[in-house]
Chain A
Amino acid sequence: MSTTHGNGNGSKRTREPVLVVLQLSGGNDFMNTVVPYGDPLYYDFRKTVGISEEDLLPVNDDVGFHPAMAEIKSLYDSGNVAVIQGIGYPDPDRSHFRSMDIWHTAEPHDFSSEGWLGRTIRELDPQKQNVVTGVSFGSGLPRAMYLSGTPAISVTELESYGLLTSLSGVRQRAALNAFTRMYVPEEFEEAQMVMQHIGQTGLDSLAAVDLLRSAPDGYSSTVEYASDPLAQSLKGIAQVHLAGLGTRIFYAQHGGYDVHGNQVQTQAKLWSQVSRAVQDFFADLKEHDASDEVVMLIFSEFGRRVRDNGNGTDHGSGGGAFVVGEHVAGGLYADYPSLKPADQVSGDMAYNNDFRGVYSTLLDDWLGIHPDPIVNGHFEQFEGMLQPLQL
């Protein structure tokens, strides 16, 4: 462990920059998230799902936030939200899974099984001193966090997280005792490398379980998170961070953005959840004097078609991302892609900045690690978007 334990009030926490990545799964419709209402083409293309000017939360004369994003708008007004417009990658792929893979592996052309955050975790903790350097909340470990041989923990929800959870009470405790002894690496007489590996992995997992299970113990907050899974994930992240376990990379997921139909209602519900959860998360951290230690990246695998389909929008490319935190120089970054038909790429907004540029900015300016080997190349960064944490 490279850091001291805390009891939730932040006093014993080692100040280190922490990155939270929030994945919006399904392809968030950026055009209806940060809406280019100043361009009349928007209303030509968005006849049925377009959002009228009076409903929007205007940022300037050109764009405004979706009406469900009041809390994020407020964070934006405080200068804590960077909006990266026109983010994407070359030769866009409209398959959810492939496009998500590309974002996860930072590799648009070849298939790769190494996640960019997996590599980041290895860089942050090369000696594997902390089994909880990377913690993901959600169902299954996202490929972004995966790197063979680098520990990363996957938690569905903190309350039910654990080993041998199907066993009850006393029996679970007994089973965990047995597990501890069964997995002691040196107990095997034959020097079997794989047995050693499984033993070490088992004990690491058990250690992670113990650490994470104890995270909520000293936690108390006046912030009341909503009950939806995203809010609960962010609450879990706050608890783990405030417990001072030394976790540097967190991951959370929010699904349902594949709005082929019923877009208006669906997107409003989803963004009101995100907006409130993000605000509550940072308010919670602030209450514990930890809000400047965390930066959050919010991304989705792609944007959607410029023209709506009469009830929703279909898979497109060229979306947008958000970087949120006190160390963020808020504002609009990159240009909003042109909606002119001639500027579109196969009916989509053309991307104007590679997502690996944002990754590089976060790695370099926030986490302080060399980005190029992690994102597979050198990409232009957003200068001045992030101020390093003063330790």
Chain B
Amino acid sequence: MTTASPIRPGESAEPFDPVGPYPSLLRIGHRYEISLGQRLALGGFKGPQDLAVGPDGWLYVVNRFTEAGSDVPRSRFVRVRADDNGYEDDIVASLSGQPDLVGKETLPSPVMCTIDSAGTLFLTDEHANLVAMFDSVSGDAVGHWGSAGTGPGQLNAPSGIVLDAEENVWVVSTLNHRVDQFTRDGEHIKGFGEYGDGPGQLSHPWGVAVDPITQTLLVADWRNDRVQRFSPDGELLQIIGRPGNGPGEMNRPSGVAVDGQGDIYVADRSNNRVLLFNPRGMFIESFRGDATLNERGIQKLMANLDMVRIRENVVNLDDEKRFRNPTSVKIGSDGLVFMVDSGRYRIQVYRKLCRELGADEIDPPTMHTDPTLT
């Protein structure tokens, strides 16, 4: 730690060293781009939980839901991408009734997913207790691994999943309160985590991300209302956030993502917002949602003109823009940030606007605490 910095909520006594590879940024803000998906507009886009940004530019969205009038869980992958008319989409794979998943007739409860450079999707299922793999083009199941249990390397309600630089797979076991590293074929390499609310302990962790700059792991420590950063060997490096709904505070954060500049996005699920922190864990900004009607939404209303009249009687349509239980955030190229607005059956897409500064473009950091400058 070389700079004197203001004390921020939740910052640990030994903050993660932000100096080094992270660029200095001139932050301009975020621009809302579009909402993908539409409640009831497509047979497949229902109860989105997470997405993976494919190498082909498609977003692969895990949907988990029940059919109307049924209590039987269903799930499916739907892929979606923006196009000139708003977006296009189709169902990649129904995850119920996959015959290739030996002994598993169905994946009733998928949680999170990721995709490798070859286009293989990796998916966790918290009741089947496995990681399933799908070919993103054909939608075919291509394998699965994982054994249920409470020991290291065993799965117990697996949730967050992410690939590191070597394309090894990190999987969160929510009910084991652990994070484990596996080869792509499911061989256990190592892992860490123990239950508790002390520093470095975890309670029902959910999402996980790899910082592409330092290859450190950020874990959404869901029931402790914080995000913790660990080294790949499980050493605690940083604590971000604390319980609450104030600036930078969290209420059951479910997803975490780190962009190419080390910025940390947190799906602050039960606060119905997404938070942005810089690599030092300083709270920068919160997103409450800016969704606009996309072309599908407009078509929907055109087919239901009495709804248009009803909307005129609604005092404040702003509610419609807001997140409801955003579960996950994923980073795309060119500054795109995809926020999975689970309760609203859509993905809100933002673009981060900033400029990276060279060392000669920024004043010595001590100046930052000069109160006369504010």
Q: B303–A347 contact, CB under 8 A?
A: yes
B67 with A255: CB separation less than 8 A: yes
A314 at the interface (CB under 8 A from B): yes
Q: Which residues of A contact B303 (CB under 8 A)?
A: 305, 307-310, 313-314, 347
Q: Mark A254-265, 1 if CB is under 8 A from B, else 0.
A: 011011111001
Chain A contacts of B300 at CB under 8 A? 309-310, 314
Q: Which residues of A contact B68 (CB under 8 A)?
A: 26, 96, 258
B41 partner, pick from A25, A309, A346, A347, beta carbons under 8 A: A309
From A47, which residue of chain B is reached at the shortest CB distance?
B299
Instruction: Tell me whether chain A's interface is mostly helix, strand or loop, or mixed.
Output: loop
Is A312 part of the contact surface with B, judged by Cβ < 8 Å?
A: yes
Contact of B43 among A261, A308, A310, A313 (CB under 8 A): A261
Give chain B residues whose Cβ lies under 8 Å from the Cβ of A307. 302-303
CB proximity of B174 to chain A, nearest CB, Å: 31
B374 at the A interface (CB under 8 A)? no
Select from chain B the residue with minimum beta-carbon distance to A346. Answer: B306
C-alpha spacing A279/B302, complex, angstroms = 38
Specify which chain A residues have a CB less than 8 angstroms from the CB of B302 in the assembled complex.
Answer: 307, 309
> Which residue of A has the minimal Cβ distance to B71?
A139
Residues of B within 8 A of A96 (CB): 68-69
Q: Which residues of B contact A311 (CB under 8 A)?
A: 41-42, 296, 299
**Total A-B pairs, Cβ < 8 A:** 62
Cβ of B362 within 8 Å of any chain A Cβ, yes or no, is no
A266 at the interface (CB under 8 A from B): yes
Q: Choose one: A26, A259, A305, A314; the contact of B69 (CB below 8 Å).
A: A26
Interface pair B295/A262, CB less than 8 Å apart: no
Chain A residues 88-105 with CB under 8 Å of chain B are 96
Q: How far is the CA of A258 from the CA of B296 in the complex (A)?
A: 17
Chain B, range 22-75, C-beta contacts under 8 Å to A: 40-45, 67-70
What's the dominant secondary structure at chain B's contact region?
A: loop
Closest approach, in angstroms, between the C-beta of A306 and any C-beta of chain B?
8
Inter-chain contacts of B45 with A (CB < 8 A): 261
**Across the interface, do B40 and A260 meet the contact criterion of CB distance under 8 Å?**
yes
Q: What's the Cα separation between A310 and B304 when bound, in Å?
A: 12
Nearest Cβ in chain B — how far from A77, in angstroms?
32
Q: A347: which B residues are within 8 A, CB to CB?
A: 303-306
Closest A residue to B45 by beta carbon equals A261
Q: What are the residues of chain A within 8 A of B69 when measuring CB–CB?
A: 25-26, 96, 255
Give Cα A313 to B41, complex, Å: 9
**Among B41, B67, B306, which residue has its beta carbon within 8 angstroms of that of A260?**
B41
Task: Give the CA-CA distance A307 to B68 in the complex, in Å.
Answer: 22
Chain A: minimal CB distance from B298 (Å): 9
Q: Which residues of B contact A260 (CB under 8 A)?
A: 40-41, 43
Max chain A Cβ within 10 angstroms of own Cβ: one of B45, B68, B296, B303: B303
Q: Is the CB of A310 within 8 A of B305?
A: no
The contact sample of 30 A-B pairs, CB cut-off 8 A, is A26-B68, A96-B68, A96-B69, A256-B67, A261-B40, A261-B42, A262-B42, A262-B43, A262-B91, A265-B43, A305-B303, A308-B303, A309-B302, A309-B303, A309-B304, A310-B41, A310-B300, A310-B303, A311-B42, A311-B296, A311-B299, A312-B41, A312-B42, A314-B40, A314-B303, A346-B305, A347-B303, A347-B304, A347-B305, A347-B306
- Since A262-B44, A265-B43 are in contact, a sample of 18 more A-B pairs with Cβ atoms closer than 8 Å, ordered by chain A residue number, is A26-B68, A26-B69, A258-B68, A260-B40, A260-B43, A261-B44, A262-B91, A305-B304, A309-B299, A310-B300, A311-B42, A311-B299, A312-B41, A312-B42, A313-B303, A314-B300, A314-B304, A347-B303
